[in-house]
Amino acid sequence: MSTLKEANTCPDGYRALSTSELQELLQNDEKMDQILRLNEKFQDLQVDREMLLSTNRSVAEESLARQPQLNNGKLQLAEKYRELSNLATTCWEKQSQLGEFEKVDEEEEGRGRGLMFLASYEECVQGHW
């Protein structure tokens, strides 16, 4: 009977069985059902394996086909980041220039107000004198 157990582990292992062992196996309905179930499971697993391999291959081929698009997209994204960086630098420079202009404008405005005050004062003083 130990030979029967070994035969179950290998599908072609039945060839190694003697005629009497094969007859014994054929008469054991429980053992035959087990062998058939294992064989069916094995076949189902083989079919599943082949389907998974096929699906995996298709996904891999599709992925490889999209690789140039992905690389192009990465290059475009890098270029957009460079443009953004340049624009941000330009914005900071212009903002700092505006800040300087605002200071100059405020100083000029202050002087202008002072001159206007003096002119008004002079008019007022001249009108009273």
- Give Cβ neighbours of residue 42 (< 8 Å, ≥ 6 apart): 11
User: Please, where are the H alpha helices in 10-28?
Assistant: 19-27
Q: What is d(CA 124, CA 129) in angstroms, rounded to the nearest whole number? A: 9
Angstrom CA distances, 26 to 5, 8, 11, 37, 60, stand at: 14, 13, 15, 15, 46
Confidence of residue 123 (pLDDT cuts 50, 70, 90): low
pLDDT tens digits along 50-109: 999 999 999 999 999 999 999 999 999 999 999 999 899 998 888 887 777 666 556 666
Q: pTM of the prediction? A: 0.41
Q: Which two tokens mark 19?
A: 């005629």
Q: Percentage of the chain surpassing pLDDT 90?
A: 33
